[in-house]
Amino acid sequence: MMRVLSVASECAPLVKTGGLADVAGALPGALAGQGVDMRVLLPGYKPVMAALDAPIELTRVDDLFGASAQVLAQTAKGVPVLVLDAPHLYERDHGIYLDGNGQDWADNPQRFAALSLVAARIARDGLGDWRPDVVHGHDWQAGFAPYYLHKLRVGVPSVMTIHNIAFAGHADPGMMGELLLDPADYTPEGFEFWGRVSSLKAGLNYCDKITTVSPTYARELTTDTFGMGFEGLIRARQDDLTGILNGIDLAVWDPANDTVAPHYKSLKGKEKAKKALRAKMGLPDADGPLAVVVSRLTEQKGLDLTLDGLEPFLSDGGQIALLGSGASELERAWEFAAARHDGLAVRIGYDEDLAHLLIAGGDAVLVPSRFEPCGLTQLYGLRYGTIPVVANTGGLADTVIDANDAAVKVGVCTGIMHTAGRGDATAHAMKRLLDLYADRDTWSKMVKNAMRHPVGWDSSAAEYAALYRSLI
């Protein structure tokens, strides 16, 4: 059996801030059927340590950026994890990346360099009789792992996955010595990025293969519009780049057996879930479609653009229920709009149970992102027959079939797609949603198509396994 060490800063269901955690948590189970023994190296944050009940200590690190640490092993909540227990780095209140003021922890470079360094040492020394054949790093937090593998002369190949290239993992050049970085590698071919140290730059330059989370996003990353300054590097390594679409956990997101939303094995259950959702959110009954939003409220996610089409959509009988948090000005804008419209309900924050109810009870889910590497929300929507209304970008373009005239005529559409980054396009898509929902035959066909669309991990897991095998 092939052994893979996955290096991630978060992993569902133990700790999660976004889609990276869902992927890191789902891959070990998905890959087991492909003959891959994957274990996830994860920082020992407070919620992670609380989830361990009988961990086994595998190794100790005497001095890891200021104090000793240990690596613990356990299958926690169904995920085989290796936990880097380093209280001086990870035992903190507030967020895993941000302090109580919403700012990056000042020692984030050390915190995630430590994760990468321990990954490289595990690859070099093994843990008992387990030694990885491949190291798979996720985003900037694991970016130094391929670099440390190179400097330690460890003959284990590495893969880097870009979940969101907008985050480069910056550090001041004066920290090179502390981070065990060779100043000779402070070059564009090493880890220098616009006058700063970048752990993502290190990972992309020193890894053997690069993946990202959808084929369209892989192509977008080679452009000035989406490459965020890395486009030259990505173009130079196009032969090593693969876009592998994310999947979702079909056991967690299962409309027939959802433990939170009302169970439904037929479309009749959608009406029951919608009724429960309206009651939960304080929305009145209505004849138009109930659109839902489950999202971070950031510029990337485009929820400011949705506000442009709000008035006509609600005036024509539509409703919106939103769950999200993020930029304070967007939170205030949505709360202000909700105070003025009976058909709009807003909850600021995140609630996993409510997220399930929103996806189950909504008629449509709005994902108007300016850019979206993959997106999981639209996959949840497809699974539950909640029609995705999405921007034509990244993984959204790879997973939704637009209800244009041709697709409607042949009965293959699964959603509504619009131009990314434009408020008028978002407003027009919401008008199309109203019209399509009123055409009950077409809408029913779209819902059935959506629920048949494959959204699991089978195909993608096979692609990852093939990529690992190509390296060893």
Extract the annotated binding site. 16
CA triplet 206, 208, 213: central angle to 5 degrees?
Answer: 100
- Evaluate the CA torsion angle 453, 455, 461, 466 in order and state its sign: positive
Residues annotated within a binding site for ADP-alpha-D-glucose: 16
Looking up tokens 């994890």, which residue turns up? 81
How many residues in total does the chain contain? Answer: 472
Cβ(207)–Cβ(134) below 8 Å: no
Element (H, E) at 197: strand 196-198
Which residue, among 374, 331, 365, 407, has the nearest Cα to 164 in the 3D structure? 374
Quote the CA–CA distance of 91 and 142 in Å, as a whole number.
19
Which residue, among 5, 22, 413, 79, has the nearest Cα to 247 in the 3D structure? 22
Quote the CA–CA distance of 172 and 255 in Å, as a whole number.
48
Quote the CA–CA distance of 254 and 359 in Å, as a whole number.
11
- Name, in order, each residue with C-beta under 8 angstroms of 255's C-beta and a sequence gap of 6 or more: 261, 263, 264, 265, 269, 360, 383, 384, 385, 451
Token pair, residue 217, equals 């996003």
Buried-exposed string 22-41: b where 16+ CB fall within 10 A, e elsewhere = bbbbbbbbbbeebebbbbbb
DSSP one-letter string for 99-129: -TTSPBPTTHHHHHHHHHHHHHHHHHH-BTT
Helical H segments across 282-362, by residue range: 303-306, 310-315, 328-340, 352-361
Quote the CA–CA distance of 244 and 464 in Å, as a whole number.
8
The number of helices, as runs of H, and strands, as runs of E, in the chain is 19, 18
416-418, strands of its sheet edge to edge:
344-348, 319-326, 290-297, 364-367, 387-391, 416-418
